[in-house]
Chain A
Amino acid sequence: MSDNTKKERRKFLDKGLKLGIAAAIGGLGISKITSKLNAKTNHNSTDKMELMTVDGTLIEVDSSEVMEVQHAEDHDKKYNVREGMPNRKFVMVIDLAKCKNALKCVSACNKTHYITGENAWLKVHKMQESKDTAPYWMPRTCMHCDQPACVTVCPVDATFKRRDGLVLIDNERCIGCRFCMAACPYSIRVFNWEEPKQGEMSEITMHLGGETPSPDYAGMPSRKGTVDKCDFCPHSIKNNELPHCVTACPNGVFYFGDKYEDTVTNGEETLRLSKLLTDKAGYRLLEELGTAPSVYYLPPVDRLVDFEKGLEDYNEFQSVEKPE
């Protein structure tokens, strides 16, 4: 008995489902036909129109067939915050031979990004590989890796890699899990542990350019409970300007440029990237991890200044100057 009712029910469900599908298809078909009929009856003109196709041949069509189409969104040309600037690949070269720990890069970065926390985005490390090797100063930005560990582990796609090489953060989406900070082998990411004390200044600058706030705009205020980091200054790049650390450096340590154009510049001289890297034996930080950074280092050789000179400005426990 129970078996029988089960079968009945199954049959009923089966039939119902089939009927439903048939009705849906039928409905679609009818609406299509009627819309076609409508189109034909509405335009009864017999005018012809001459048009040129994309490959240059002239064709003639019935004007009733001509319809306005929306412009296709050209992803190669249109700027999109998450896609980046088309056909560019930004790279940086840091010449360790020139760095004297003047720290102008750090203060310029702090100022233009309204960094008010305790940990700067750009820092200069005092490095010494071993007791017998020479010490040197090493500025360290975000490496904007091509295989970014931070992007891989982000659970919500808040930090993302763009086609132009930049790794940025959408701090309106970040959930503050800090997994990206744990994943970054260069420890470059900083967290807003409390409400950032950026004040109104950042908001004002943000709206000066009439821009809507976006992750690549320098005025984007920091948000409590989210991650921040060096952004390669896309707001400057967009205006054909160099990142602030590059222009601020009195010693021309930083070179910035486009890998596709094979050129980098520190504002004074413009060099061929590939030649520079070959001639001066450029390398990348922690290359063996396979993160493929976009920042190259030139080894600290033939230095013009003593390492000790930099010690005057060295402060192990501070990277952001506090306003007095």
Chain B
Amino acid sequence: MTKYESLINDLAPRKFGKRGTIWTFILVVIIIIGLIAYIDQIRQGQVVTNMRDYALWGIYISNFVFFVATSFVGSATVAVLRLTNNSWRTPVVRIAEIISLASIVMAGFTIMIDMGRPDRLLNLFIYARLQSPITWDVIIIPTSIILSFLLLYFPLLPDLAILKKHHLKTKPTFSKWYGKLSLNWTGSKAQKAIQSKSIKIIAIMVIPVGILLQTIDAWLFSTTYRIGWDSTNMGAYFTSGAFVAGLGALITVVYVIRKVRGLEHYITDYHFDKLAQYLLVTCLAYVYFNINEYLIPIFNAPAEEEIHLNALVYGDYAGIFWFSQIVGLILPILILLFKKGRKPLPMLIVGIMVVLGSWWKRYIIVTPTLLHPFLPIEGVPESWHHYFPSIHEWLITVATLAMALLIITLFVRFLPVIPIQRTAEEKGLLKTDKKAES
């Protein structure tokens, strides 16, 4: 019983330390600055961005694609590992669910930031036309938000009940809230049956919905005639990229939380090794799709496409292109091949590399294509021939990333980041309870 108590003590959410408070404060400041920049953008119009008639989408869209990609981590770990009976997932699934929910919510916000007339948002529902891929997005994003929320919430119920009991004397208000949120969870057989059935249904649903989300995101691009977007490879390419981006984000966040909360006993080298192998497999799959996307067209690319590819490989975008390919993909694979590379600290570095590479990879997908139209760019100011985000765009984009991190931070502050009930069961700490039940 003491073991069980100490387990709860370890895993129950804790007050921010000094570092946590500073971290949260910085995030809030960044968000406020971004909010001011956004209000200015609404006031002046999107002229404050560096987007223009040719580079008509910029980092708002590539950042949106990045958020959508990282939101896939919920499907990738929770659902896929569940269906494949990988029991090592226990200590990381909650974090994956949190990242997933934070990302998809922020994806919804980011796409609105890009709208020229956010005041007409309701038109998307009033005049919705089903053949537009944007309408598909309008359908799939709220669906994903709801599913991600349920995927986080249902497995939380027993833990919330535990926390209610745990905080009963020390923090009565917290205890009251946990109790309300736990929906009167008592752990009875009937409740458990409903819960496990619901989780099963959601976990199965989340896979096709996740793949659809990634694919619709890809279709936003591949339904146009644009060089570099007009590719049948896009759906699968985006989905495999989402595995990589999501797992990279997961590994980074898991490392940080483990360090800050001192969870080394719960998230061990073994778990990092498993995550590393998973990331390695998905990186290899992503390399395969990258070869399809960038290498094979060398043989038969029409003149316009060759200009586009050359700009990526040798031209204006070569720096970002090779950064995303080498730092975001090739080096991680090389590091992960070695056992030493799959230890926690190298994994943190790999995780950060993958996340940065993934973010810039989306930039490389969105921007260069727009600056390689079929007809020449003429009759517009010289600056319209290029695109690099303006201060406003950076401030707003960084604020959206900070907001995602803030959501994750708040969840970590108030929820058990590792499922208490499941860990206790797996460690055999609940044997007495089980006997009593049966």
Contact = CB atoms under 8 A, between A and B. Distances in A.
Given A173-B127, A225-B116, A140 B57 contact: no
Interface string A165-204: 0000000011111110111011101111111000000000
A181 B373 CA distance: 11
A61 B394 CA distance: 78
A175 B379 contact: no
B56 A191 contact: yes
A269 interface: no
A49 B220 CA distance: 64
A108 interface: no
- Name B's interface SS: loop
Contact of A118 (B49, B117, B225, B380): B380
B41 to A, nearest CB: 10
Contacts of A175: 115-117, 120-121, 123-124
Given A149-B224, A193-B52, A182 B132 contact: no
Nearest to A193: B47
A119 B379 contact: yes
B388 interface: no
A265 interface: no
Interface stretch (B100-108, B133-141, B172-180, B401-409): B133-141
Interface in B344-394: 370, 373-382, 384
B53 A189 contact: yes
A123 interface: yes
Nearest to A123: B379
Given A155-B124, A156-B128, A317-B379, A190 B223 contact: no
- Name A's interface SS: loop
Contacts of A120: 379
Contact of B117 (A153, A174, A195): A174
A19 B315 CA distance: 75
A212 interface: no
A154 interface: yes
A190 B129 contact: no
A178 B57 contact: yes
A144 B136 CA distance: 26
B399 to A, nearest CB: 20
Contacts of A237: none
B410 to A, nearest CB: 31
Contacts of B373: 185, 187
Interface string B212-228: 00000000100111100
Which range contains the number of A residues in contact with the other chain? 35 or more
A230 to B, nearest CB: 13
B378 A123 contact: yes
A119 B114 CA distance: 20
A317 B51 CA distance: 17
Contact of A155 (B46, B135, B225, B376): B135
A317 B380 contact: yes
A190 B370 CA distance: 14
Given A173-B123, A182-B370, 11 more contacts: A152-B223, A153-B131, A155-B129, A158-B123, A158-B127, A177-B134, A182-B57, A182-B226, A194-B46, A225-B117, A318-B381
27 contacts: A125-B378, A126-B378, A152-B131, A153-B134, A155-B129, A156-B124, A156-B127, A178-B57, A178-B116, A182-B370, A186-B374, A187-B53, A187-B54, A191-B52, A191-B56, A192-B116, A193-B47, A193-B49, A193-B51, A193-B52, A225-B115, A225-B117, A226-B117, A289-B225, A318-B381, A319-B378, A319-B379
Interface of A: 118-120, 123-127, 140, 149, 152-158, 173-179, 181-183, 185-187, 189-195, 224-226, 286, 289, 291, 315-319
Interface of B: 44-47, 49, 51-54, 56-57, 114-117, 120-121, 123-124, 126-129, 131-135, 138, 220, 223-226, 370, 373-382, 384
Q: Closest 9 A-B residue pairs measured CB to CB?
A: A176-B116, A319-B379, A225-B116, A194-B47, A155-B134, A155-B132, A194-B45, A193-B47, A185-B225
